Amino acid sequence: MPQRPLEARDAVTARPKQPDAAFRAAVRFRTAAEADVPAVVPMINAAYLRESHLLPGPRIDADRLLAELRQPDTQLILAETSGMLAGSVRLITRDDRAYFGLLATDPALQGRGLASMLIDHVERKARDAGFDALYLQCVKELGLPPFYASLGYSVITEIPGVTDWGALRPWTKVEMRKALA
């Protein structure tokens, strides 16, 4: 999977990019199947390379993703353009809460608004399933909370000193919530 050089990649910005009409029209969403795992894992890991200074990769492996897909409360939503994998997002609907995470876009397509489209799609799925809010957890040191805040998410907790996820140094876990109208 081709990647842009690191210096050409945009940092996560607080202002989500809006996809142009042609790109928006070309994107199709579907729920992943086990057969998708061999293509999805490298795309996710490539998307998460920008975090490797804090959270070394790989972000996920095939066995773990297969185990997640087999959970009845977990869906992986795929975005495709022209029949090719473009991005993904995980939706977990457990007990009385819906969470999204593992948001990834193919590095060659980053900066086109696909992440915002994936989030919008997962919000609709959660709302359609009867949830009145959607939650996420992210890493403050990666500059993610302002991006999610621009999409209507509010910080509900911050936990400093976290060393989960194989971190190279402690980081701040931020849980955010958005009311779904």
Domain count of the fold of the chain: 1
Query: Would you say residue 169 lies in a domain?
Result: no
Query: Would you say residue 170 lies in a domain?
Result: no
Beta bridge partners of 74: 92
Query: Would you say residue 139 lies in a domain?
Result: no
Quote the domain boundaries for residue 47.
6-131
Instruction: Reply yes or no on whether the pLDDT at 175 is more than 50.
Output: yes
- What predicted TM-score, i.e. pTM, was given to this entire model? 0.88
Query: Would you say residue 155 lies in a domain?
Result: no
Give the tens place of pLDDT for each residue, 68-119. 999 999 999 999 998 999 999 999 999 899 999 999 999 999 989 999 999 9
Alpha helices, DSSP H only, in 8-161?
21-26, 37-47, 62-69, 114-128, 144-150
Query: Would you say residue 177 lies in a domain?
Result: no
Query: Would you say residue 173 lies in a domain?
Result: no
| Chain centre to alpha carbon of residue 155 | 17
Query: Would you say residue 43 lies in a domain?
Result: yes
Residue 98 parent element (H or E): strand 97-105
Query: Would you say residue 62 lies in a domain?
Result: yes
Return the closest-CA partner of residue 138 out of 24, 14, 42: 14
Give the tens place of pLDDT for each residue, 20-77. 788 889 999 999 999 999 999 999 999 999 899 998 889 999 999 999 999 999 999 9
Instruction: Reply yes or no on whether the pLDDT at 14 is more than 70.
Output: no
What's the Rg (C-alpha) of the chain? Answer: 16
- Report the alpha-carbon distance of residue 140 to residue 134 in Å, rounded: 18
Q: Domain of 78: which CATH number?
A: 3.40.630.30
